[in-house]
Amino acid sequence: MSLTIAQRLDRLKVRTAELAHWRDRQSIVIDGWTFDGEPIAHHQDWPHRKGTVQFAVSATVPRDWPIEEVRLQLDLGGESLITLHYPGGQAETFGLDPYHQEFPIKAREFSITTDSVARFPFGEPNRAPKLNKARLIWLDEPVHRLHLLLRQIGEAADALESHEVVPHLIEAAEQALRSLDWPSDTSAYISRTAGAVMQQKIWELPELEANPAGLNEAQSASAGAAYDQLIVRLKELQKRFPPNGELLLTGHAHIDLAWLWPYGETRRKMRRTFNTALSLMERSDDFRFNQSTAHYYAQMEDDDPELLERIKKKVAEGKWETVGGMWVEPDTNMPTGESLARQVLYGQRYFEKQFGLRHTICWLPDCFGFSGALPQILRLGGIDSFFTIKVNWSESNHIPSDLFWWKGLDGSRVLTHTFDNPMQGYNGFVQPDCFVPTWKNFRGKTQHNTSLLAVGYGDGGGGVTPEMVEREVQLRDFPAIPKARWGMVKGFYEEAHRTAAQKELPVWDGEIYLELHRATLTSQSGVKRKHRQAERSLITAETIASLAHLLGAGKPQSLEADWRVVLKNEFHDILPGSSIREVYIDAEQELDGVIGNAKAERAKALKALMAHLPAGGATDALIAVNPSLAPRPVTARLSDGTVLSSAEIVAPLSVAVFDRKTLKPAGMLKADTHSLENEHLSVVIGKDGAVSSLVHKATGREAIESAANQLWVYPADKPRNWDAWDVDADYAEKAVRLDKPEGITLVEQGPHRAAIRVVYRYRNSTVTQLYVLTANARRLDIETMIDWHDRRTLLRTLNPVAVRSRTATFECAFGIVERQTHTNTSWEQAMFEAAAHRFVDLSEPGFGVALLNNAKYGHSARGNVIGMSLVRSPIYPDPLADEGEQSFTYALMPHEGAWHEGDVLQEAIDLNQPLVTVEASGLSTGTLSPLGVEGTPVAFSGLKPAEVGDGLILRLYEPAGRRGRLSLALPSGWQASGPLNILEEPIERAGPADIMPFEIRTWRLQRS
């Protein structure tokens, strides 16, 4: 009776599995281990599993075993860095994890030392770690090779399905198996196969031999002959059925800087993974490996400088590829544009310093969506190519191309590639059933003949295995499956650019929104708040020190060391809130340190600046520094707690000295228990605690519809997967409005500031809000203090406004993105939560309302309702996410005209970085404006010391999509360079106007 192809394939897999039991000729157990210096036996529990522990042992290889065929097999019960020490001081180091447990050795006498943790690659604790396995084997190379080859044939047949070559592959494999001279001695056979799944199900096995015999020389030789004949047959089939498609393989080990483990463990993961990759390079001239992230290499300088030097040699040899050009693989939705610029600036500078090269490829496989500002930032950093695969995770809609030009806000383009590998994505495998679907899914094959494929265990590191390297060699002779060779990512993109020069590739215009992981815009509010404070604090400290330099003080020092800390914590599993609790304890401490350092630098800069202010008779003076391009009225909280809210204006990028006696309230300010009013706004707070009326006096328009700042709790925030990452579209089906406040109280009623306090309680949590109006305010601030003690709930503010518009404006890095407020298509329906930086605005001709914030990112705009997520409390991977107290401020701002006509950005800047004020005496009143910007309205990004040479670096950007004239006004004796890139080097600029829509412009300011 003839079998079907499927039946024959099943039989092939069963018979192939049998070979594995004869993979070793002989084996010996390695005894005599110590655990932190104390004896430990095989299969004994670890005495403890706290921190990093050390195993040690000495071993000897039997004299009749050929060294080149000896392997060390270890399973110590966790992840380890193992070092094999040989006579004469030689040593070799490897990473040990569930996927890397077999190692070559170089001499008969050696010892082993380890640094081990009772953890698995994804941070899971091994709660009962044991010394599971430690033995030397004499590998039967012919059996090993044949076993692997037959496995690959089975995988190829599975992947190729009904392809014409499949029966030929199975027939060739069957012939190879039939040609074997195989043992059948009962005792050895039963003992060898006892570990098979089928045998383990037997009620009771007979007594087993401790060290059953392997194949004899003739039997081993038959396996070698079968292998050789099978390779010949595969080559013949390859001529008839040539490879279909081509993949460029890049060895890879995605190592999350912190995620399900703290950063201290990542430092150990790096050493394990990098040593493993280097060991593979020593044994294969073809193998290639890539690793991004300048921070990792900088960490190696401290942790293992010898390892870094070995890596640098492999980089010089063209075997190890540093990629990415950024300090880390950051989230790109939440960092400010200046932060993203510093990712490239400090990343590229580090790679050039250490390795003598810059990168042209941005490598972000795992980030949760991409800002439309990124293409321009990359191009200005010397990067013309972009890689990710995360776009394939979108739930509903997919970008229709996988080799395309990505066009940013300003029109800059980077060549983008993504591959769709169903077998672990960027953590791919070297095997036919990975190659075939990856090539099949490559939609760009009609334009380009090769797709990239990153292979190697990742996320928790580990990388490529020796088997993967061996598989690649065997697969060179296979028919029908895609051709796949190790190569360099840079080489792939160079070829892709040649294709793009000859063929018209698709274009994706604007942000790349991921239809998944939307909750990362809200989870772990504490680190998001501190990150924004750290960004603003550094930018402000640099700016004030630079203004002082323009007035005659010395050149300020670089704050790169503090910026590196901020950039590190922008990593795509730290800032998004998807890590364990220990990560956030570390991150918040580090960011607090940056904020403290920045405040100290700011104080030093203010002192330097004050030394260059003219003396005078103001004995009770207030110095106000405006570190932005927004003219702002004086609002300040003094050292004694007094609040000033004056009509006096502080010009952009200027220093103003006022006599405090002249700083009168800006105008009328009224307040009672339910209302606040100044010359700009009239506010009524309803009995439900929400804003029942917000009148914009200049237009007479009521800004809201029904009630604004409605607080809603969603107690079923329980996504089907990825607890900290996701919020499901039906989260609002169950909702509780907080509309019965415990109290509404007028708590401040001064001429400069008035405030109404509203207190809500939800189950175990308390929300306290102050509605604040200052005398000069054009916005209603809502200072919010939350004490949260409820799990898997989401708190949002909803703001129905009296505006009709089909689009809403969301601020993003270096500009804005307009998103639809309707849900006509599946694309719009999917964008129910999206990123905004400091404001979201809804405007119609002549009037609009903005929602501003100083700490939040998750927003929505549906119809006329602007929503913002305030806090959520998942239980995985941090069961206590956002537990306890937090504070932040958001604001409602009605305005005339469009957002850019109604000064929305200026108010958002003021909310996030108030004027910097200091009290003094003996100064002359007046204003010094050492730097002016004239012409088309632009926004300020940064003013900092140049990284190389003298002078300052000024960076501005156009935030609204306008073009026109732009000029700088500098102090006498200063001049501005021509245009620079982000790396602070001269570039040719082709724009027809001084500033183009959403353009980023950079200059060097230096003395003539």
Which residues form the catalytic set? 366
Nearest to 921 by CA among 615, 626, 667, 713: 615
Tokens of 443: 């939609």
Q: Is the dihedral of CA 796, 797, 802, 805 positive or negative?
A: negative
Tokens of 947: 């990284």
DSSP letter (8 states) at residue 233: H
Give the DSSP H or E segment for 525. helix 525-550
CB contact at 8 A, 288 and 257: no
E strands, 118-169, in order: 133-139
Cα(151)–Cα(146) distance, rounded to whole angstroms? 9
Tokens of 877: 């991977």
DSSP 274-317: HHHHHHHHHH-SS--EEE--HHHHHHHHHH-HHHHHHHHHHHHH
Residues with Cβ within 8 Å of 556's Cβ and at least 6 positions away in sequence, in order, are 542, 545, 546, 548, 549, 601, 605, 944, 945
CB contact at 8 A, 16 and 182: no
> What φ, ψ does residue 110 adopt, rounded to 5°?
-160, 165
Cα(876)–Cα(874) distance, rounded to whole angstroms? 6
Residue 891's identity, in one-letter code, is A
**Side-chain-side CA neighbours of residue 515 (13 Å):** 15
Tokens of 345: 């600036």
Residue 454's identity, in one-letter code, is A
CB contact at 8 A, 604 and 550: no
The residue whose two tokens read 């030097």 is: 309
Cα(871)–Cα(877) distance, rounded to whole angstroms? 16
Cis peptide before 877 (omega within 30 of 0): yes
**Mode of pairing for the β-strands spanning 916-920 and 507-509:** unpaired
DSSP letter (8 states) at residue 236: H
**Mode of pairing for the β-strands spanning 780-788 and 884-896:** antiparallel
Burial 476-491 (b: 16+ CB within 10 A, else e): ebbbbbbbbebbbbbe
Nearest to 76 by CA among 62, 57, 90: 57
Longest CA–CA separation in the chain, Å: 111
Angle between helices 141-160 and 432-441 (to 10 degrees): 30
Angle at 268 between CA 264 and CA 272, to 5 degrees: 165
**Side-chain-side CA neighbours of residue 983 (13 Å):** 20
Nearest to 250 by CA among 119, 71, 427, 445: 427
Cα(246)–Cα(153) distance, rounded to whole angstroms? 18
The residue whose two tokens read 């960076």 is: 955
Q: Is the dihedral of CA 773, 776, 779, 785 positive or negative?
A: negative
